Amino acid sequence: MRENMTWVSEFILMGLTSDKNIQAGLFVLFGVTYLLTLLGNGLIVLLIALDPRLHLPMYFFLCHLSVVDICYTSSGVPQMLAHFLMEKKTISFALCGTQLLFALTLGGTEFLLLAAMAYDRSVAVCNPLRYTVVMNPRLCMGLAGVSWFVGVVNSAVETAVTMCLPTCGHNVLNHVACETLTLVRLACVDITLNQVVILASSVVVLMIPCSLVSLSYAHIVAAIMKIHSTQGRRKAFETCASHLTVVSMSYGMALFTYLQPASTASAEQDKVVVIFYALVTPMMNPLIYSLRNKDVKAAFRRVLMKNIESKN
């Protein structure tokens, strides 16, 4: 029995479909979406770096979020695009582990950053006169640093216990990328430890940040209800609208995935979740923040006009 507990050198990914025409269409769709994601998030980072008026706590976290989105989508989408053009969709054991490490790190970091941004919005609405004092550079850097640190540590632990599982020669993954639950399903040994780690991970990077976001918005709602004028309430809500939209998308899909009964989960649903986080969310985030944010749109106009004037 011990001799059969082997690790494979590569995995075969079944992908979304075996139909070559559909694969060609998906290659174009995913390729365009990927380019838009890089362009949108890259533009957000560039605007925040170039415009001093955006050197505020809110945009500091937004810059980190855009960097996470660029890295997250780049950790899996190029491989998906390549596999649409390949007959045999394989990924080496080492590359699979690396992909899993980056995906878990960036996914966890994003959830934690959204919680930090919720706290930032809470201070802005509930205590506007002390906003710059409370959300000082040291605190902002500390919150961002903790988000990245927890994301890395959580990912390292989960990746280690996942990739150490022997598969007894089984190497076919019914997925578009290396994903924890799909890899665990191939294991030919007891997976109790993995189930505990996955549960602990979901608590650390999902449930706790989600609870903090809910608490922050409870304070925000309470503060808004105390504002007597309709215009004042609208203005207070507008400061949170973009973040609330992104939070609803990110946490909504994650909670739906983790809280549903295990018996109803399917490989196809897992693929949809991965594609949602790899393509849809990273592309939508800069659109949501730019379309709803007057400061970002004004910064874009200033940078554009400055560039035109410099050429003239």
- Tell me, what CATH number does 232's domain have? 1.20.1070.10
**Residue at 57 is within a domain:** yes
Q: Which of 292, 301, 279 is nearest to 38 (CA)?
A: 279
Which structural domain range is residue 72 located in?
A: 10-310
Q: Which of 238, 235, 230, 219 is nearest to 293 (CA)?
A: 238
Which single residue is written with the structure tokens 């799909």?
A: 182
Give the chain's domain count.
1
**Residue at 241 is within a domain:** yes
**Residue at 14 is within a domain:** yes
Does the predicted model carry a pTM greater than 0.75?
yes
**Residue at 78 is within a domain:** yes
**Residue at 5 is within a domain:** no
pLDDT computed for residue 2 by the predictor: 44
- Between 308 and 4, where is the model more confident? 308
Q: Phi then psi for 188, rounded to 5 degrees?
A: -115, 20
pLDDT digits 0-9 by tens, 102-149: 999 999 999 999 999 999 999 998 888 899 999 999 999 999 999 999
**Residue at 4 is within a domain:** no
CA–CA gap between residue 169 and residue 181 (Å, rounded):
18
pLDDT digits 0-9 by tens, 54-84: 888 999 999 999 999 999 999 999 999 999 9
> Highest mean pLDDT: which of 32-41, 227-236, 260-269?
32-41
